[in-house]
Chain A
Amino acid sequence: MRSIIAFILIVLPQLILAQEWEDQQLFNADAPAQPLRIISSTDTSLFAPIIADFVAQNADISVEYLVTGTADIDQIFRANPEAFDLVISSAMDLQLKLANDGLAQRLPDVTHPSWAQWRQSLFAFTSEPAAIVINRQAFAGQAIPRTRQELIEAMRAAPETFRGRVGTYDIRQSGLGYLFATQDARASETYWRLMEVLGALDVRLYCCSGDMIDDLASGDIVVAYNVLGSYATARVESRDRLEIVLPSDFPTTMMRTAMVSIEAPQPSPATAFIRHLIALQSRTDTDVFQLPPLNTQSNDIERATIALEPALMTFLDTLKRRRFLAEWENAVIQK
């Protein structure tokens, strides 16, 4: 009996942490100390050079990098804030709510412009526009749409070309997808028309950018809406086939944010890592920092960035979210 309890006590936390990670990697495994645990939505390939650079400067720190979807991050982290040191996510709304709920440490000593941080606890380190990624072959002989409206028209003009070959986030699963969707919907009614068109064309829904870009690269789909351009750019092998369109009617730019868990086991290396991130993004060393750095002209209308403010929580409201999802389903999933 006692041994069973002991077993449970030892294994249970392991079970909780025995999560299905999209990716899981340990950097500088030889370091004696407990690893710095980072839960992130960013692909390891993009973050590996950053972490490598960090451990190169801090040889005694090992880093465990855990990748999962933005919505999962929110759930997993909320359940066990003590299990992670750093949370890095592209879902600004979820991140802001974590901070608002007091799950992020305030780091008063980290200097960062006020528009790129919230409450000295949530720190943005990239500016990444949502893009329409297009397989050029599908638009052979015609102009590549530059706005959502042009995209709608292009798709309406040739529904058979696009049926079943367009993709976007399943906003019910993807936190980032939901953020982009809600911000688009705020900006313009065009979003809903586009969703209706996409719904009519049997749009494929994805949980994650990676899968969507994979399908795009393979040619399974020819248009991906609201995908992160940075991910597409990272796919070196498909660069010449894919066109990354930043819609010129209204842009939606997200900032990737990082925060230190309120119950971080190793708060000071975690803070050091945030500092490192902030420092890296301001350098133009694209070998290490492959993500787009923060827009210094944050007020540029052409690339309006989603503001870090409590309003981000609006669409996270249960009623509001239910209503928005219902509307979205109504438009996209046409039975």
Chain B
Amino acid sequence: MKFLLVEDNQELANAVSSRMRLDGHVIDHAANLGDATAFVETGDYDLILLDIMLPDGDGRSFLKAHRASDLDTPVIILTARSQVSDRIGSLDLGADDYVTKPFDHAELEARCRAVLRRKAGKAQTVIETGGIIFDPVAGSMSVRGTSVTLRNRELRLLEVLINAPGQIFSKQKLADRLFSYDDDASENAIEVYIGRLRKHLEKSDLRITTLRGLGYRLEYDT
């Protein structure tokens, strides 16, 4: 997936970008509206993350111009304003969703997925590997032609693993990716989800192996 992040705060932009890249997304960063306009004209983005307060103007005017030019790229607003007053204006102007700063990355990811799912059809993100067809945006998976229903966290876990096959993920890392921080979900819960996912993948060529003391790894049956 290709995202455009319009954010004047360089550090926040870096933080968001690095996190997004973990999920295998491509992130372009524009620090102002001028750059953002240029990026939109040249690149074909699946999603725009738009800050409202920018040095050269108000993000909402950019949004308005963007919607006026008949582009339907979904936009998620990053706002520092009060939730109530801004929500109305942003959504009225054509934003698909918004996130209030400071935001939980898990929430941002969830919202991004939700927006992309709503706008589905445009971006083809289907992954075909090891006997499964997996669409992380739609949240669907089939194993050898049989559709399997995945719960959200199972889906997120699979997405994390499938994006980096062969890489070892510690329980902690996986928990960090799966849970938000206000929820005290323990790392032990990860075992539950790993267990469930293993069951779903039984008939495929994909295996989640446990590396004692280190974590888990997705491997192909050979």
Direct contact of A and B (CB under 8 A): no
Residues of B within 8 A of A (CB): none
